[in-house]
Chain A
Amino acid sequence: MKILVCLKQVPHQDARLDIDGAGTWIKEDGIKFEINSYDTFALEEALRIKDAGEAEVVVVSIGPDRVTQALRTALGMGADRAVHVKDTEIDGSDALVISKLLAAVGKEESPDLVLMGLMSDDGNTAAVAPMLAELMGIPSATAVMSVEASGDGYKVERELEGGALEVVELPKPCLIAVQSGLNQVRYASLKGIMAAKKKPIDVKGAGDLGLAGNVGAGAAKTHIEKIFAPVKGEGAEIVEGSTDEVVTQLVAKIKELGLL
């Protein structure tokens, strides 16, 4: 049994988001990065399957040198080995190009199960999981809130609106993109972090995956032309002053609403 977990390293959720000189992405210099929150739940789910039986957990991530840190964290949490897809040519790739790179890794690894997050906290496209499944020719389910082994595959619960759940069965091999909150994510233990130092990280370029010349902005079918602060409407009336002054105004409002 082999599980491939796809991880993305993204700007920390509390990082300052300043727009870069070209106006097409944020300034990445000097900000903290972390494993995409949705992906941490996917990794945890893989490690639970591993803990419950026999499984090899392989993590893969695409990105520059800084991604090594995310992979080390994943190895520290209990993943067995890592694949780091690193190539400056990849810059400017869209979700479809990223999916093609991951599909090439998927072909080399031929996992029984691919686990990943529903979407990334930066791009928010939620596109890579279904695309990767399509390119690997396997069934998939997204926004998954529970995973249970069933027959020759998995029975999963997909989250619908308002908290309803859709129960779906997928035969192996398959891809499951998890929703946040399906488990409580572990921390890497000190022992785990020490052990991770000896675990292998295999670095591959686009050429190693048979995609030389077919990645990056030139291969992308979508381009971000510009990013900008959301257009503001009228917005809230901002209450200013000392804490006492602010609170006095809030209480006056609550009274006016007839709630006090």
Chain B
Amino acid sequence: MGNILIVTELKDGAIREASYELVSFAQKIGGDIKSLVIGSGVAGEAESFAKKGGGTVYVADDASLANYNVDGYAAAIRAGIDASGADVVLISNTPSGWDVAPRIAAALDVAFVSDAFDFQDGAYIRRIFNGKLDARVKVEGDKAIVSVQPGALAAFDGSSEGSTEALTVDTSGARAKFIEVKVAESKGVDLTKASVIVSGGRGVGDPEKFTEVIQPLADALGGAMGASRPVVDAGWLPHQYQVGSSGQVVTPKLYIACGISGAIQHLVGMKGSNFIIAINKDPDAPIFEVAQLGVVADLFEIVPALTAAVAAAKG
């Protein structure tokens, strides 16, 4: 399948787990694997990636690349593609990955596959409709830029032969300017400490129902209330209640999901819970894939009855 270029990503100075998952993805496609490390003072990380599946690793090491910047990173990736002669470029579908990858495809006028989680029989597999359906996507010709869902494949943890090669990148044309990263401030509810979380999703319907239906069950179980993103987006609950990739990652003893479909961004925030109960009226909702117990019913029938039964059981 020709040359594959893995675009790695650093977090806190180290190459992320997701980049090692790209090695596994590249092996699944099959081809000659090369990699790209972008950053400032990253020679050591590049050396070690070369020995852990990265093959020939191009190193775009420049002070101007210390922080993510769409224009600088696009220039680095294009230089990496030129140097490696890559046909397929793999990049993790992270906030920087999805920001830059489609630009490269448009600039080079090549195919772009977004958020693939597998490669089977010559096609990329990806989720559509927020996880409700999957699609097999075929690419015309050999060239493609592919973003890959983090966590989809196990990270490669073997060793390999490899070496590094310096890459010069001209970042002088950058227009977007990085200012700073503001870390999330945790205020109010710290869901990570709750042993029981009762979460409501868009299916709860309106803010009053959170007070009337979801909170009482959380209270009865001595737990905390959580929510999916649309609930927070609509202003029904503040952000500190949000569970998921852009909210809190929780691992309670019991997580009860009410009217939550189970999109991947929600699942990454709660699938590590010890026990999961899902209540959803749609039997095909993806949430039932991560739950141990499921109830296919109207949450407004089940949740109040459960709250009463829990209260009764406590005596």
A164-B277 CB under 8 A given contacts A140-B70, A230-B133 = no
CB distance from B119 to the nearest CB of A (A): 13
Query: Could you tell me if B288 and A135 are in contact, using CB atoms closer than 8 angstroms?
Result: no
A84 vs B133: C-alpha distance when bound (angstroms): 28
Query: Could you tell me if A141 and B70 are in contact, using CB atoms closer than 8 angstroms?
Result: yes
Query: Could you tell me if A230 and B114 are in contact, using CB atoms closer than 8 angstroms?
Result: no
Query: Could you tell me if A165 and B293 are in contact, using CB atoms closer than 8 angstroms?
Result: no
Q: Which residue of chain B lies nearest to A244 when distances are taken between CB atoms in the complex?
A: B305
Q: Which residue of chain B lies nearest to A129 when distances are taken between CB atoms in the complex?
A: B102
A143 vs B295: C-alpha distance when bound (angstroms): 34
Per-position 1/0 for A180-218, Cβ under 8 A of B: 110010000000000000000000000000000000000
A139-B175 CB under 8 A given contacts A163-B246, A224-B137, A248-B309 = yes
Q: Which residue of chain A lies nearest to B297 when distances are taken between CB atoms in the complex?
A: A246
Q: Which residue of chain A lies nearest to B195 when distances are taken between CB atoms in the complex?
A: A259
Query: Could you tell me if B306 and A125 are in contact, using CB atoms closer than 8 angstroms?
Result: no
A165 vs B315: C-alpha distance when bound (angstroms): 47
Q: Which residue of chain B lies nearest to A231 when distances are taken between CB atoms in the complex?
A: B134
* Chain A at the B interface: SS class: mixed
For the complex, is B249 an interface residue (Cβ under 8 Å from A)? yes
CB distance from B290 to the nearest CB of A (A): 8
Total residue contacts A-B, CB cutoff 8 A:
269
Chain A residues whose C-beta falls within 8 Å of the C-beta of B313 in the assembled complex: 251, 255, 260
A129 vs B103: C-alpha distance when bound (angstroms): 9
For the complex, is A93 an interface residue (Cβ under 8 Å from B)? no
For the complex, is B27 an interface residue (Cβ under 8 Å from A)? no
Chain A residues whose C-beta falls within 8 Å of the C-beta of B102 in the assembled complex: 95, 125-131, 134
Q: Which residue of chain B lies nearest to A41 when distances are taken between CB atoms in the complex?
A: B233
Query: Could you tell me if B288 and A235 are in contact, using CB atoms closer than 8 angstroms?
Result: yes
A132 vs B195: C-alpha distance when bound (angstroms): 46
Chain A residues whose C-beta falls within 8 Å of the C-beta of B95 in the assembled complex: 142-143, 158-161, 166
A163 vs B242: C-alpha distance when bound (angstroms): 10
Chain B residues whose C-beta falls within 8 Å of the C-beta of A221 in the assembled complex: 110-112, 139-141, 144
Chain B residues whose C-beta falls within 8 Å of the C-beta of A247 in the assembled complex: 302, 305-306, 309
A130-B106 CB under 8 A given contacts A162-B246, A225-B136, A229-B133 = yes
Q: Which residue of chain A lies nearest to B303 when distances are taken between CB atoms in the complex?
A: A247
Query: Could you tell me if A168 and B106 are in contact, using CB atoms closer than 8 angstroms?
Result: no
CB distance from A189 to the nearest CB of B (A): 19
Query: Could you tell me if A171 and B289 are in contact, using CB atoms closer than 8 angstroms?
Result: no
Query: Could you tell me if B128 and A122 are in contact, using CB atoms closer than 8 angstroms?
Result: yes
A96 vs B139: C-alpha distance when bound (angstroms): 13
Query: Could you tell me if A243 and B301 are in contact, using CB atoms closer than 8 angstroms?
Result: yes
Query: Could you tell me if A17 and B132 are in contact, using CB atoms closer than 8 angstroms?
Result: yes
CB distance from B146 to the nearest CB of A (A): 10
Interface residues of B in 236-281 (CB under 8 A from A): 239, 242, 245-249, 253-254, 274-278
Q: Which residue of chain B lies nearest to A256 when distances are taken between CB atoms in the complex?
A: B275
Q: Size of chain A's interface in residues, with CB distance under 8 A?
A: 87
Query: Could you tell me if A164 and B183 are in contact, using CB atoms closer than 8 angstroms?
Result: yes
Query: Could you tell me if A163 and B130 are in contact, using CB atoms closer than 8 angstroms?
Result: no
Interface residues of B in 42-96 (CB under 8 A from A): 68-71, 94-95
Query: Could you tell me if B254 and A227 are in contact, using CB atoms closer than 8 angstroms?
Result: no
Query: Could you tell me if B254 and A259 are in contact, using CB atoms closer than 8 angstroms?
Result: yes
For the complex, is A170 an interface residue (Cβ under 8 Å from B)? yes
- CB < 8 Å: which of A126, A159, A161, A229 contacts B114? A126
For the complex, is B180 an interface residue (Cβ under 8 Å from A)? yes
A125-B115 CB under 8 A given contacts A236-B292, A247-B302 = yes
For the complex, is B196 an interface residue (Cβ under 8 Å from A)? yes
A155 vs B99: C-alpha distance when bound (angstroms): 16
Query: Could you tell me if B106 and A135 are in contact, using CB atoms closer than 8 angstroms?
Result: yes
For the complex, is A52 an interface residue (Cβ under 8 Å from B)? no
CB distance from B286 to the nearest CB of A (A): 6
Chain B residues whose C-beta falls within 8 Å of the C-beta of A225 in the assembled complex: 123, 135-138
Query: Could you tell me if B184 and A96 are in contact, using CB atoms closer than 8 angstroms?
Result: no
Query: Could you tell me if B112 and A230 are in contact, using CB atoms closer than 8 angstroms?
Result: no
A233 vs B177: C-alpha distance when bound (angstroms): 45
Task: Report which residue of A37, A165, A221 has the largest number of chain B beta carbons within 10 angstroms of its beta carbon.
Answer: A221
For the complex, is A254 an interface residue (Cβ under 8 Å from B)? yes
For the complex, is B154 an interface residue (Cβ under 8 Å from A)? no
- CB < 8 Å: which of B179, B234, B309 contacts A251? B309
A-B contacts, 16 of them at CB < 8 A, read A19-B133, A41-B233, A95-B114, A143-B99, A158-B99, A162-B247, A169-B179, A170-B175, A221-B141, A227-B136, A236-B278, A239-B295, A249-B293, A250-B293, A253-B293, A259-B254
Q: Please list the residues of chain B having a beta carbon within 8 angstroms of any beta carbon in chain A.
A: 68-71, 94-95, 98-103, 105-107, 109-115, 123, 126-141, 144, 175-184, 195-196, 202, 221, 229-230, 232-235, 239, 242, 245-249, 253-254, 274-278, 283-284, 286, 288-289, 291-297, 301-302, 305-306, 309-310, 313-314
Q: Please list the residues of chain A having a beta carbon within 8 angstroms of any beta carbon in chain B.
A: 11, 13, 17, 19, 26, 37, 41, 94-96, 99, 121-135, 138-143, 155, 157-171, 174, 179-181, 184, 220-233, 235-239, 243-244, 246-251, 253-255, 257-260
Given contacts A163-B242, A246-B305, 11 further A-B contacts (CB under 8 A): A125-B114, A127-B102, A131-B106, A140-B103, A141-B99, A155-B179, A230-B133, A235-B289, A238-B293, A247-B306, A260-B313
Return the 7 tightest CB-CB contacts between A and B, nearest first: A181-B233, A236-B294, A163-B184, A221-B111, A131-B106, A236-B291, A130-B102
